[in-house]
Amino acid sequence: MGMTMTQKILAAHAGLDSVKAGQLIKCKLDMVLGNDVTTPVAVKEFEKAGFDSVFSKDKISIVLDHFTPNKDIKSAMQCQVSRDFAGKYDIKNYFDTGSVGIEHALLPEQGIVAAGDCIIGADSHTCTYGALGAFSTGVGSTDMAAGMATGEAWFKVPPAIKFNVTGKLNKYVMGKDVILHIIGMIGVDGALYKSMEFSGDGLKNLSMDDRLSMANMAIEAGAKNGIFAVDEVTLEYMKGRVDREYKVYEADADAEYEAVYDIDLSEIKPTVSFPHLPENTRTFDDIPELKINQVVIGSCTNGRMEDLRAAAEILKGKKVAKNVRCIVIPATQKIYLDAMKEGLLETFIEAGCAVSTPTCGPCLGGHMGILAKGERAVATTNRNFVGRMGHVESEVYLASPAVAAASAVTGKISQPSEIM
């Protein structure tokens, strides 16, 4: 029996000719990632284990993106621990205020991760880098500590689900709508500890920003990882970014999948995930009038240039509805600068939006947009659990940047076609 893309990458990094689902293996790592929340815990475990060196100063990334600029003394102390560790071991890929971006937008943008890599990160949305054709998965801080010291990690080889993508997205439909549709279809445990593998002729019609958004939310279906077949879109994205050799892995024709789903992009509609699980999806055929208090456009899911352009197109010449707060967060400093040069930030500000420095802030209820009791938000983030963005009696509705921007204008959950 042949191997999937994920299984081929894991076999290569384990030094094996082949692997099969359920097999326990130890793999060499190309990148170990931590942020200002998880790195301090990993540092504590690193020191407790008696480690006094890292396996590679070039293959560790520490990104201070969750509570920066520091919102309080505790977050300042967390960043200080991370900063001191990065300085002590001369970590090359260290990003702090002024150079920081949201980690899962920053690493692909900077060419730090690439096709064929084996990556772990002490953040559940590390699965984002599968958009590049890498095996990438979230781990705990203890695994991060061991990875930083040894450059290795243990994995149980996951079985796989295949998504055969065809067709082309309609106007105002984005990759976020596709992944919400899929999660609504299979459920939040529909891919539990499985690899979600995307291939098919329709991939050419999905931009890299679409793919990064979709891979990012593989974890919301319970997946071990999400991964996209490498094509011209992938290669063009990595060109000029990745300055090292990388390897492209293709699934075998006889690779085994537990299930195969056909996804026709032309049939996907603007989709919203209702509280309090990402699987609670609805299209506008089934959405009542729901007034909102806040809109967040940003996060590791949807804070990239295409996301900002989609939102700006809808907000251009319009105003955010009275009593609605619209917060726009470019995902990296480069995206912030590019958006400024294109005039997108001017569009947002003229519409009445607040524009923030790159941060994860509101997504996890950290800062820059906490919800009060009874408030309702439309967000381009990835989770809408109880209390995720603030008070336990607040509500988060997940949507694309296009839907979020339209909702900001109308003051209720709306699709772009209502105002464009």
> Which pTM does this prediction carry?
0.95
Q: State the pLDDT at residue 1.
A: 77
For the chain (420 residues), the mean pLDDT of every run of 10, in chain order, is 95 97 98 97 97 97 94 94 97 95 97 98 97 98 97 97 98 97 96 97 97 98 98 96 96 96 97 96 94 97 97 97 97 97 98 96 91 98 94 97 98 93
For residues 271 and 180, is the Cβ–Cβ distance under 8 A? yes
Q: How far apart are CA 309 and CA 304, in angstroms?
A: 9
**Structure-token pair, residue 102:** 């949201």
Q: State the pLDDT at residue 407.
A: 98
Q: Does domain 5-265 have CATH number 3.30.1360.100?
A: no
Distance spanning both ends of the chain, measured CA to CA: 51
**Structure-token pair, residue 246:** 């990388």
Backbone angles phi, psi at 132, to 5 degrees: -95, 0
Q: What is the location of CATH 3.30.499.10 in the chain? A: 5-265, 271-415
Q: State the pLDDT at residue 419.
A: 87
Residue type (1 letter), 59: K
What is the number of other CB atoms lying within 10 angstroms of the CB of residue 196?
31
**DSSP class of residue 151?**
S
**Protein fold of 271-415:** Aconitase; domain 3 (3.30.499)
pLDDT digits (tens, 9 = 90+) for 85-99: 999 999 999 999 999
